[in-house]
Structure 1
């Protein structure tokens, strides 16, 4: 089987600039599948150095369950505009207010399901703490209670130091040199072509990020306080979802957070920090099952 292009949206999805009261944001908007009973809309927030395309593997399966899903590039991420050098524009409260505006724009007056991956989960949490009324539920995917693990803090510090002295293109080359190459099926030209295209898309995404956004987001990940008790007081259904292994927030931390939130808990076997791309089928099934329970 040839390797799928992860940056290619599913059939029927639209990529466009979503207009909100806080500006325009690039989205991939995938409708509920034809012939299904529409159950609601979900807003999906990507993580650090990620983008809306990280959710491409989930759209079709969630659409088949009756959900419209709208994945968004946050301010300064990939195809959404933002200041190049002003880190204050990317303060967590600013990004949380962006999420409230995005929810208002896609919800058509109805609450939406909110899902955030990693850093996106902490931004989603901040939005819910500002105002929970635009939301029907909150899913925290591979997103922990406070700052990231010490080894990941060290990686973020290396990245921040590099961004302070090198252009974005040179930082990309340095990161690629440190990564182990992905193993591909020998002699499969379609898979090799898809891999090369994905690498070019990843480079294009990296260069689209605003340096100030990366610097501010990295600082937030390394200093985020524990706000679980505040969140537990919010009258929303919660879902804590992760892979079976996570170096960014170890599973015991996520398990404890779920208990403190009285949240539904899902561990996706065979997945690590990005279950949406590691194991999209069981991840989509778990998300849809939680949303179905909320609807009921």
Structure 2
């Protein structure tokens, strides 16, 4: 695998991070980055980011996990960050063939983590769109993760109450129509942090984090993404509907959800976690969508609970390994 750029100055991650180019099985070039393992690492967190996001946005998260004993990696999904953009004539648009295409990206990153010898066990952390990708990945019996955590997972997309009952009909009607590559109503070619003021934003209550996101967008605009296409929205609605019908995995799970969440469909998150026997839902009062970009006490609460989950699951995995070796 070839080295790729990692913008350390705006990432604010631990020293010694590295990024790599990968080719997926369907021949899309993606980028992933990881930060060095802390002493005596307890495993590696696979941070599956949301739509519009990129590796550098999670440098501080890598530092927080390193402080708790975990290595971390992050992914530029196809169509965003420095990965191949899927609409050459409009690279700023968020687009994908189908939501399950992101599984090719995750498979490539798991193989790369194995090749680099990143510390095991592996743990999954999915934010927003990454939550849908992550749930799909662990819905299969032969996944590689010992536990899963989620931040405001996109297990449903918030639409107006009038349109909600018609969402699947509309997705099938417009997803592959002549409007497929157009922006949905209310979306445009401007990346989100330039569209809303801090006072009106739906991501964070932390003014320093908001200013840092604007700094990243201004210093590395090539990382940013604008609104999604109608096709992306349609495919996401269809994938959320498909995921809702799956049973919850037999895996320990922690899910953080902001009490002021305004982007994902919160009822879908409550429904999923209510039927996840090994799952815990943590509704954080006042928090917005991006819990890992929230005020310091919210971030600490989230990382502490993720680490507690991973610690327990890692100890169980180590015990099972010892049993298997002594049998």
- Per the shorter chain, which TM-score range? 0.7 to 0.9
- Structure with greater helix share of residues: 1
Q: Distance in 1 between matches of 2:96 and 2:133?
A: 14
Find 1:150's aligned residue among 159, 167, 171: 159
Find 1:11's aligned residue among 7, 14, 17: 14
Match of 2:81 in 1: 78
Distance 1:41 1:176, change over 3 A: closer
Find 2:70's aligned residue among 67, 73, 77: 67
- Contact between 1:57 and 1:280, CA under 8 Å: does it hold in 2? no
RMSD: 3.9
- Shift, 1:82, TM fit: 4.2
Q: Does residue 219 in structure 1 map to residue 241 in structure 2? A: no
Match of 1:268 in 2: 284
Give the 5 Å matches for 1:106-185: 106-107=113-114, 108=117, 110-130=120-140, 132-145=142-155, 147-151=156-160, 164=182, 171-172=189-190, 178-180=195-197
- Contact between 1:9 and 1:28, CA under 8 Å: does it hold in 2? no
Match of 2:271 in 1: 256
Match of 2:313 in 1: 294
Match of 2:321 in 1: none
Task: Give the alignment's TM-score, normalised by structure 2.
Answer: 0.68
Q: Distance in 2 between matches of 1:127 and 1:106?
A: 16
- Shift, 1:178, TM fit: 4.6
Q: Distance in 1 between matches of 2:199 and 2:302?
A: 23
- Shift, 1:151, TM fit: 3.9
- Contact between 1:245 and 1:273, CA under 8 Å: does it hold in 2? yes
Q: Distance in 2 between matches of 1:192 and 1:177?
A: 11
Q: Is there any run of 5+ residues in structure 2 with no aligned partner, and where?
A: 1-7, 164-169, 201-207, 316-327
Q: Distance in 2 between matches of 1:191 and 1:248?
A: 18
- Paired positions, count: 272
Find 1:204's aligned residue among 222, 225, 228: 222
Q: Distance in 2 between matches of 1:178 and 1:48?
A: 16
SS in 1 for 2:182: helix
- Contact between 2:49 and 2:127, CA under 8 Å: does it hold in 1? yes
- Shift, 1:163, TM fit: 6.2
Distance 1:237 1:153, change over 3 A: farther
Q: Distance in 1 between matches of 2:236 and 2:9?
A: 26
- Contact between 1:244 and 1:271, CA under 8 Å: does it hold in 2? yes
Find 2:33's aligned residue among 28, 31, 48: 28
